[in-house]
Amino acid sequence: MSKITFLGAGSTIFVKNVLGDVMLTEALQGFELALFDINNNRLRESEQLLLNMKESIGSTCVIKTYTDRKEALRGAKYVVNAIQVGGYDPCTITDFEIPKKYGLRQTIADTVGIGGIFRNLRTIPVVLDFAKDIQEVCPDALFMNYTNPMAVLTNVLTTYGGLNTVGLCHSVQGCVPHLFEHLGMDTTGVKTKIAGINHMAWLLEATKDGVDLYPEMKRRAAELQKEKHHDMVRFELMLKFGYYVTESSEHNAEYHPYFIKRNYPELVDRFNIPLDEYPRRCIDQIKGWEAQRDAMLSDKKVEHKRSEEYASHIMEAMETDIPYKIGGNVMNTGLITNLPKEACVEVPCLVDRSGIQPTFIGDLPPQLAALNRTNINTQLLTIEAAITGKKEHIYHAAMFDPHTAAELSLDDIVSLCDDLIEAHGSWLPSFK
């Protein structure tokens, strides 16, 4: 029996989407769906929900839970990773509250920035442990990483874990539909091309019947910027740098030095930036799950429609040899020629029985490559800190982070990193 292993299966709603999609896919019937999580209560909740879905869908997939990670992985053909090390409490709270003492405010803190750096540092050792198990019990498995920070973790799993890895993010497939809906434009017949790095990939082309749509997109965006709306940062980036970016405005507000500045608080209001957005989402998600859990787990006829998540489509393409196109995070093996080869990039990929096949992009427009490199600098130095165990590289990663460097002095950056290392305690490995 072929096996799909889900690491972090306590993320019940995400499990519902990804494995619900699997149960609706003909080519994946009969697969074992192996669930693993360190939280046994959440693991059992996900199991019950999937059992309900299996009955209502009529799937022949076999659902099985594991408390031994290596056994969950043994013989797997596909592995889905959706863990969050440290969760909302205590680690996310720490990532937000300690920087506030230095006047450094954040919105999401899961990609770069000071929060992204420390999220990486506590997650990298865990995923490298995954890699050791996989090398032993399912070395040929495709590892589909959904965990943030996406670029760094996918890089580490490939470069140091030796895994067949692709990073998958929702922002690519959602970018164009959300943008065109906001602009009041029709996506029918529109051809697009997206590439860059995770959470900062660029809509490089948008054409219809050979006509470039960007002039009209920018005209409408400029009109919308006259009033407050939810996507002001991305529209500002498009109007100033020429291209629209995949990930949301609340994310991109903290990837650049231009928007969240304590000496210019009016910018936060002007660009409608939701500071402390991620902690609020965490609280709302926890309350939301508590409110719907009992009803959902007792519903024997729970419904599911196949989602836009890439995972089931990738597995289907590999099982059937019917090609499918995704936006995937992979190592930069000459794919984007003006970004570092050590970086993980996000590019269109073709999937079939041969696996993930990235496409060549060439040079990005120079201003976009420059913006990407500002984030890649911090990503690569974070990896250096994690692999060498040297504290100095944590400082370097933070010193090169665009938002952190725009707000704090070098001495304050070092002091902030030291405070975060102490506060995270055993959630982090030892650094020298």
Can you tell me the distance from the alpha carbon of 363 to that of 351, in angstroms, rounded to the nearest whole number?
23
- Does 17 carry a binding-site annotation? no
Give phi and psi for 115, each to the nearest 5.
-65, -40
- Nearest CA among 112, 89, 114 for reference residue 100: 114
Instruction: Write down the catalytic residue from 170, 178, 182, 304.
Output: 170
Maximal CA-CA distance, the chain: 61
Instruction: Output DSSP code: residue 305.
Output: -
Q: What is the DSSP string of 335-404?
A: SBTTS-TTSEEEEEEEEETTEEEE---BPPPHHHHHHHHHHHHHHHHHHHHHHH--HHHHHHHHHH-HHH
Is position 148 annotated in a ligand binding site? Answer: yes
Distance CA 249, CA 235 (A): 8
- Residue 342 burial (CB count, 10 A): 13
324: buried, middle or exposed (CB in 10 Å: 19+, 13-18, 0-12)?
Answer: middle
From CA 114, how far away is CA 143, in angstroms rounded? 27
Distance CA 206, CA 248 (A): 18
| Residue 229 labeled ligand binder | no
CA angle 233-279-21, nearest 5°? 85
Residue 186, by phi and psi: left (phi above 0), alpha (psi -120 to 50) or beta? beta
Q: Scanning the structure block, which residue is given the tokens 């930069």?
A: 332
Separation of alpha carbons 268 and 362, rounded Å: 35
Strands 3-7 and 78-81: parallel
Annotated active-site residue 304? The verdict is no
From the list 282, 279, 302, the residue with the least C-alpha distance to 290 is 282
Q: Which residues are known binding-site members?
A: 148, 169, 199
Q: Which residues are known binding-site members for Mn(2+)?
A: 169, 199
- Annotated catalytic residues are 170
Q: Which residues are known binding-site members for substrate?
A: 148
